[in-house]
Structure 1
Amino acid sequence: MRERSVIFFDIDGTLYDHEKKLPRSTKEAVFELKEKGHEVAIATGRAPFMFEDLRRELEIDTYVSYNGQYVVLQNEVIYTNPLNAAALEQLTKAALEREHPIVYMDHEDMRATVPPEHQYISDSISELRVGIFPTHDPLYHQDRDLYQSLLFCPEGEECFYEETFKDFDFIRWHPFSVDIIPRGGSKAIGIEKITERLGFSKSRQYAFGDGLNDIEMLTHIENSIAMGNAKEQVKAVAKYVTKPVDEEGILYGLRMVGLL
């Protein structure tokens, strides 16, 4: 058997197509990787409870979630990086003054500062097609570790928060929604926690992604593959570019780099 590798896959626009469906060729490719003895993992901005079905379908128990803030290796939590609670409290006050909702997220649930029927929340979360929505609990951020939050505001209005709250990074993923993560946190850091434990050399590490939150990951990983549907900034930092997700991009990319 060839030397084992570890392969990290983003979800939306990478494993999932634009309809949030897993292409048959992608599923078959993942299982072929596993049959060859490779380690297959997920690296996503999603919460763990937002991709349980996918993990079960692909029989994957290693993942980087919340853009690197909650990391699990073979069903064991090995790294967490919660948001600064005091800074989040101040951000919450500023968001309330500007009528910008926030959704607080830990490893088990998500709760909103306003009723979830708010247009920005419903429009954003519904696009993920996870079948769950946050409930209303404006005090959910108190006395618990949160690994990511969502700020809901029109494009451009996050600039105030970026300039004011230096404990956080803000990553826009929807016209109405921005991820809030700890400053400097990234998928790359979460991936490093896994590869250090597993002992894979840089040359045996691979990653597939398409979004702005994949840039650090694809920069960090030696064998980085951008999807054909990726943003141009993402393609620019990747070593390889495969076909789009809905044109068997995962299968094509794995063959391109010699893993299948």
Structure 2
Amino acid sequence: MTEKSVIFFDIDGTLLNHDKEMPASTKEAIFALKEKGHEVAIATGRAPFMYEDLRKELDINTFVSYNGQYVVLNGEVIYKNPLITTSLVKLTEAALENEHPIVYMDHEDMKANVPDHDYIKESISTLKVEKFPTHDPNYYKERDILQSLLFCPEGEETQYEAVYKDFDFVRWHPVSVDILPRGGSKLKGIEKIVEKLGFPKERIYAFGDGLNDREMLTHVHNSVAMGNGEEEIKAVAKYVTKSVEEDGILHGLKMVGLL
């Protein structure tokens, strides 16, 4: 009998390829893991409403959303870590002066502080999700905002990094940056789930490819970087598998001995 493990998968560039399609081998591998009794979870920067269909398709009810700020175990919310509202107000004022729009996101929806902007369209469209942010400049004042998106060209986020120390800024697109609570990461969300499940570090696995996977792949005991991943992410991972398109998930799971 194989010892039970928990495996966390990033979505974009890991479960899904550049065209947001999932290789058949990946789906088969996920269900093979579940048949062996392993726990399968998602760890993503996406909002929970951006991958409901994927969770249903793979029958996954445990997930880390918003890079660790919203954590669900077997369908139950076990952790939320919202952005500090007073700091978000100040950041919004500065961003508006620089004509850098912001999208505010909670567990249910996302709203933009401007009615229309090319950067928002350009970046959000690459996710190929049905939901698109509508306009509500006061959305962040009424609820817990778990993540925001700042829209600016590469390099221009440094002016905010120097001033707004309550936040971490992680670029995910040439014109968009994730705004996270300082110190927030997928790793923190994973730790919340592992605490509840009681797995030893030797039986924790994580697959990822992007800059927001750095902490996760640096510290999870069995970390696997995708072949299509960022070079600096491959450098911190314990293993490097093939690309998504080359059946990288299946290959990686075989490589670490889970399949």
Q: Which TM-score tier does this pair reach, normalised by the shorter chain?
A: over 0.9
Task: Determine helix, strand or coil for the equivalent of 1:228.
Answer: coil
TM-superposition CA deviations, 1:142-188 (whole Å, max 9, x none): 02100000000011110100001000000000011000000000000
Pairing 1:124-163 to 2, within 5 Å after superposition: 124-163=123-162
- Alignment of 1:46 with 2:46, yes or no, is yes
Pairing 1:144-223 to 2, within 5 Å after superposition: 144-223=143-222
In the alignment, the residues of structure 1 paired with residue 125 and residue 159 of structure 2 have an alpha-carbon distance, to the nearest angstrom, of 26
- Alignment of 1:24 with 2:24, yes or no, is yes
1:243 corresponds in structure 2 to: 242
Task: Determine helix, strand or coil for the equivalent of 2:27.
Answer: helix
In the alignment, the residues of structure 1 paired with residue 92 and residue 117 of structure 2 have an alpha-carbon distance, to the nearest angstrom, of 17
2:74 corresponds in structure 1 to: 74
TM-superposition CA deviations, 1:83-134 (whole Å, max 9, x none): 000000000000011110000000000000011x310000000000012210
2:108 corresponds in structure 1 to: 108
Percentage of identical aligned residues: 73
Task: Determine helix, strand or coil for the equivalent of 1:219.
Answer: helix
Amino acid paired to 2:142? D
1:5 corresponds in structure 2 to: 5
Could you list the runs of 4 or more consecutive aligned residues of structure 1 that deviate by over 6 angstroms after TM superposition? none
In the alignment, the residues of structure 1 paired with residue 117 and residue 143 of structure 2 have an alpha-carbon distance, to the nearest angstrom, of 24
Aligned residue-pair number: 259
Q: CA deviation at 1:54?
A: 0.3
1:89 corresponds in structure 2 to: 89
List gaps (5 residues or longer) in structure 2. Answer: none
In the alignment, the residues of structure 2 paired with residue 40 and residue 6 of structure 1 have an alpha-carbon distance, to the nearest angstrom, of 6
In the alignment, the residues of structure 1 paired with residue 254 and residue 185 of structure 2 have an alpha-carbon distance, to the nearest angstrom, of 27
Q: CA deviation at 1:249?
A: 0.1
The RMSD of aligned alpha carbons is 0.5
Q: CA deviation at 1:236?
A: 0.5
Task: Determine helix, strand or coil for the equivalent of 2:177.
Answer: strand
In the alignment, the residues of structure 1 paired with residue 28 and residue 129 of structure 2 have an alpha-carbon distance, to the nearest angstrom, of 22
In the alignment, the residues of structure 1 paired with residue 95 and residue 79 of structure 2 have an alpha-carbon distance, to the nearest angstrom, of 29
In the alignment, the residues of structure 2 paired with residue 143 and residue 25 of structure 1 have an alpha-carbon distance, to the nearest angstrom, of 43
1:64 corresponds in structure 2 to: 64
Q: CA deviation at 1:220?
A: 1.4
Task: Determine helix, strand or coil for the equivalent of 1:141.
Answer: helix
